């Protein structure tokens, strides 16, 4: 009997040792969490511009420091710009648009196609260097990089040199854009101000405030007065500053002369 008891004890000891060995070899739940960062942690430690797959999976709300993640130009299939003109210093104005045409898009595939269509129209029909806008917000909940920060756009004649143009894909004459799109646009502008790409005291305008146009649509424009930095009338001194070099401004915006809402996105 004593012999049987000793055999049982030895078996138990071997099993316990095996269990301890396995426990040391396999990571615990806590160990796995530290070794495999979440999507949020990956984004916070990466650059802001994501590939199409990454942006679609993570959503536009997970960029650095509260900034919306951007769908980069390569991700939406942009053609190369013909020329890039850099802004001097931070933008003083933010000009908000709707695209009118193309209409609203609600999937990543549709929004990416809309970006390519706008760029083709702007480059081939208008003769511009690139897509006119600096950034575009899609109904798919993503922010698309157009010309980007610090680059002169072609979206508001006489005001392009010191402004950033943000457009929401869709026609917002009768119906306002969805709340998630306007929230993304506001977060993008706040991000630009924090990063110094926009002046801390920048002025926000609807396109119709600097051109004879219906853009960004009646329903959308009615909301802009509630946005941070919106001004009913541009300060005359600031107006003179941003219009100080109209000849240089015209080099990238000569075709931005539409006076009414037409199939032109500007």
Q: What are the sequence ranges of the domains in the chain? A: 2-36, 49-250
Q: What is the CATH number of domain 49-250?
A: 3.40.80.10
Please give the model's pTM, rounded to 2 decimal places. 0.73
Residues 177-220 have pLDDT tens digits of 999 999 999 999 999 999 999 999 999 999 999 999 999 999 99
Residues 211-264 have pLDDT tens digits of 999 999 999 999 999 999 999 999 999 999 888 655 444 434 333 433 233 344
Close Cβ partners of 44 (under 8 Å, ≥ 6 residues apart): 64
CA distance 33 to 3: 47
Lookup: tokens for 46: 């990466």
Cβ atoms within 10 A of the Cβ of 231, count? Answer: 15
């Amino acid at each position: 009997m004593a012999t049987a008891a000793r055999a049982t004890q030895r078996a138990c000891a071997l099993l316990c040792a095996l269990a301890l060995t396995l426990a040391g070899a396999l990571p615990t739940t806590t160990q796995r969490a530290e070794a495999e960062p979440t999507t949020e942690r990956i984004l916070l430690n990466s650059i802001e511009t994501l590939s199409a797959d990454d942006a679609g999976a993570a959503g536009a709300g997970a960029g650095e420091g509260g900034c919306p993640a951007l769908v980069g130009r390569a991700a939406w299939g942009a053609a190369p710009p013909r020329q890039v003109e850099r802004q001097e210093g931070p933008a003083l104005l933010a000009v908000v648009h709707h695209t009118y045409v193309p209409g609203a898009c609600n999937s990543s595939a549709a929004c990416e196609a809309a970006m390519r269509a706008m760029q083709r129209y702007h480059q081939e029909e208008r003769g511009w260097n690139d897509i006119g806008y600096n950034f575009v917000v899609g109904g798919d909940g993503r922010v698309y990089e157009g010309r980007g920060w610090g680059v002169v756009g072609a979206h508001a004649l006489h005001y392009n040199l010191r402004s950033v143009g943000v457009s929401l894909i869709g026609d917002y004459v009768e119906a306002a854009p969805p709340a998630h799109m306007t929230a993304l646009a506001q977060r993008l502008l706040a991000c630009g101000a924090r990063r110094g790409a926009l002046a801390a005291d920048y002025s926000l305008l609807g396109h119709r405030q600097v051109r004879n146009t219906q853009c960004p649509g009646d329903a959308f424009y009615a909301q802009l007065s509630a946005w941070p930095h919106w001004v009913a009338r541009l300060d005359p001194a600031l107006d003179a500053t941003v219009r100080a070099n109209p000849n240089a401004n015209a080099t990238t915006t000569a075709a931005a002369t539409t006076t009414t809402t037409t199939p032109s996105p500007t």
